Amino acid sequence: MLGVARRRLGSGCVLAQLAQALRPAAAPARTYSAAAKEITVREALNTALDEEMSADPSVFLMGEEVGEYQGPYKISKGLLDKYGPDRVLDTPITEAGFTGIGVGAAYHGLRPIVEFMTFNFSMQAIDHIINSAAKSNYMSAGQISVPIVFRGPNGAAAGVGAQHSQCYAAWYAHVPGLKVLAPYSAEDARGLLKAAIRDPDPVVFLENELLYGESFPVSAEVLDSSFCLPIGKAKIERQGKDVTITAFSKMVGYALQAADILAKEGISAEVINLRSIRPLDRATINASVRKTNRLVTVEEGFPQHGIGAEICMSVVEDSFEYLDAPVERIAGADVPMPYAANLERMAVPQVDDIVRAAKRACYRAAVPMAATA
């Protein structure tokens, strides 16, 4: 790997080459035309990687089975044949080792993409992610940029037990110096991964393996190689006036299903796809709550110190006087993930949980809060 870095950098000035490699993080938000076709989240991630590697020779991918096997989830399919083993590197099963190498390469102006087979394995490399990648720009007074992406599946999978099935959004969103993204749709996956690769700071990119095979409609603009989504901006997936539901990753789909059910009962739910966990789009969330006067937060992670708790505090600080009912928080059960399928389902939020929470918020709002105390 160090040999690759030397070949990429040669004997020129590292900072000059780094400056040349940096590109704008994201284009302004645009209004997109009608869907041109449907693609899976897997295809969206694969094409984003391909296009960014083609556009910038400093971008390379490393991780377990990303090359010869074409990725454990086939996200890197075809990339080894196209870019060769210098830019698609199969690593040993040693997350601490290859993550440290990736961070060092980023110090020297390359743009590594480090894939974890699951974000549970990132625990082996958390020192490099936090103490090396996240803090170096601040500790060097801005002299060192660390343009690196840590990506892979996150959150509850299916039948893989407690050590392979939990959400790390709150873990990494806690850390200054990191940006944390969590895509839901194919548009999210494509636009946010491109933004992450181009960004000058370390980005934790939390995918969901249960979404890889799901297809979503995308517009012609999304399929354009210049497409990029802004980091730090949420998307209102569905407009509503009675209750705001915030969610990210797979839970966005559950929130949309819940909104369909609520609509049949006369409740208009606004669904916000957070997309960016850090920075968090507090403005969009608060604007929605000021319209609907009610809030339900949804996440797969543990409830204590979670993303929902942060969103709730943001609304209490900025929009408390607009709330007509207490905030409802939906999260995973406060237990390690069970292995048994029936218990696993009980440990992860379901559509019915969101529907019940939204109804509680709306029905409690019909009675003065003081009367419900």
Tokens at 65, concatenated? 């089975």
95 is catalytic: yes
Determine which of 31-40, 73-82, 133-142, 341-350 has the lowest per-residue pLDDT on average.
31-40
Positions of E strands within 220-286: 235-238, 243-247, 269-273, 276-278
pLDDT at position 10: 43
Phi, psi of 229 (to 5 degrees): -105, 145
Query: Residue 174 falls within a domain, yes or no?
Result: yes
Q: What is the pLDDT of residue 35?
A: 58
pLDDT tens per residue, range 138-179: 999 999 999 999 999 999 888 888 989 999 999 999 999 999
Active site residue 115: no
- How many other CB atoms are found less than 10 A from the CB of residue 342? 7
Whether residue 30 is contained in a domain is answered as no
* For residue 256, pLDDT beyond 50: yes
Residue 14 forms part of a structural domain: no
Per-residue confidence (pLDDT) for residue 157, from 0 to 100 = 86
What is the domain-level CATH number for residue 51?
Answer: 3.40.50.970
pLDDT of residue 2: 40
Top pLDDT among 14 and 50 is at 50
* CB-CB contact of 231 with 195 (8 Å): yes
The predicted structure's pLDDT at residue 222: 96
Do 183 and 246 belong to one domain?
no
Whether 9 has a pLDDT exceeding 60, the answer reads: no
Please determine, for residue 83, whether its predicted confidence score (pLDDT) is greater than 70: yes
- Answer whether residue 159 is part of any domain: yes
Kindly state whether residue 162 falls inside one of the protein's structural domains.
yes
CA distance 237 to 216: 13
Short-list 155, 121, 162, 153, CA closest to 335: 162
End-to-end alpha-carbon separation of the chain, Å?
A: 62
Residue for token pair 């796809």: 273
How many domains is the chain built from?
2
Do 326 and 218 lie in one domain? The reply is: no
Burial class (CB in 10 A: 0-12, 13-18, 19+), 158: exposed
* Contact between residue 184 and residue 235 where contact means Cβ atoms under 8 Å apart: no
On the question of pLDDT at 36 being above 50, the answer is yes
Residue 190 near residue 218 (C-beta atoms within 8 A): yes
Q: Give the position of tokens 């929130």.
A: 255
Q: Which of 43, 51, 64, 95 is catalytic?
A: 95
Under 8 Å between Cβ of 111 and 21:
yes
Residue ending a domain, choose from 202, 223, 244:
223
Evaluate the CA torsion angle 55, 58, 64, 70 in order and state its sign: positive
Q: Is residue 369 predicted with pLDDT exceeding 70?
A: no
Q: Where is average pLDDT lowest: 20-29, 133-142, 217-226, 289-298?
A: 20-29
Domain boundary among 176, 202, 223: 223
Among residues 192, 223, 254, the one where a domain terminates is 223
**pLDDT surpasses 50 at 270:** yes
Q: Which CATH number is 353's domain given?
A: 3.40.50.920
pLDDT of residue 373 exceeding 70: no
Mean pLDDT score of the chain, rounded to an integer?
90
Q: How far apart are CA 222 and CA 345, in angstroms?
A: 34
Task: Average the pLDDT over 220-235 and give the result.
Answer: 96
In a domain, 160, yes or no: yes
| CA–CA separation, 182 and 173 (whole Å) | 11
pLDDT of 158 reads 86
**Is residue 83 located within the same domain as residue 61?**
yes
CB count, 10 Å around CB of 255?
29
- What pLDDT, on the 0 to 100 scale, is given for residue 101? 97
User: Percent of the chain scored above 90 by pLDDT?
Assistant: 85
Sole residue written with tokens 């939990």: 166
Q: Are residues 108 and 80 in the same domain?
A: yes
Tokens 């606004």 appear where? 270
Whether residue 254 contacts residue 221, with contact meaning beta carbons closer than 8 Å, is answered with no
Query: Rounded mean pLDDT of 249-263?
Result: 98
Residues 273 and 150 in one domain: no
- Torsion angle defined by CA atoms of residues 329, 331, 336 and 340, in that order, rounded to the nearest 10 degrees: 130
pLDDT > 60? residue 8: no
Q: Mark whether 136 and 114 lie in a shared domain.
A: yes
Q: Are both 348 and 248 inside the same structural domain?
A: yes
Q: Which of 34-38, 202-206, 215-219 has the lowest mean pLDDT?
A: 34-38
Closest residue by Cα to residue 117 from 164, 82, 81? 164
Distances (CA, A) of 154 to 127, 182, 372: 18, 9, 39
Q: Are 239 and 219 in the same domain?
A: no
- Average pLDDT value for residue range 308-333: 97
The answer to whether position 75 is within a domain reads: yes
Same-domain pairing of 49 and 153: yes
**b/e per residue, 224-248, with b = 16+ CB within 10 A?**
eeebbbbbbbbbebbebebbbbbbb
The answer to whether residues 196 and 340 belong to one domain is: no
Full domain range(s) for residue 161: 37-223
- Do 166 and 246 lie in a common domain? no
Residue 267 belongs to some domain of the structure = yes
My answer on whether 282 and 188 are in the same domain is no
Rounded percentage of the chain residues whose pLDDT exceeds 70: 88
- Find the catalytic residue in 164, 214, 221, 310: 164
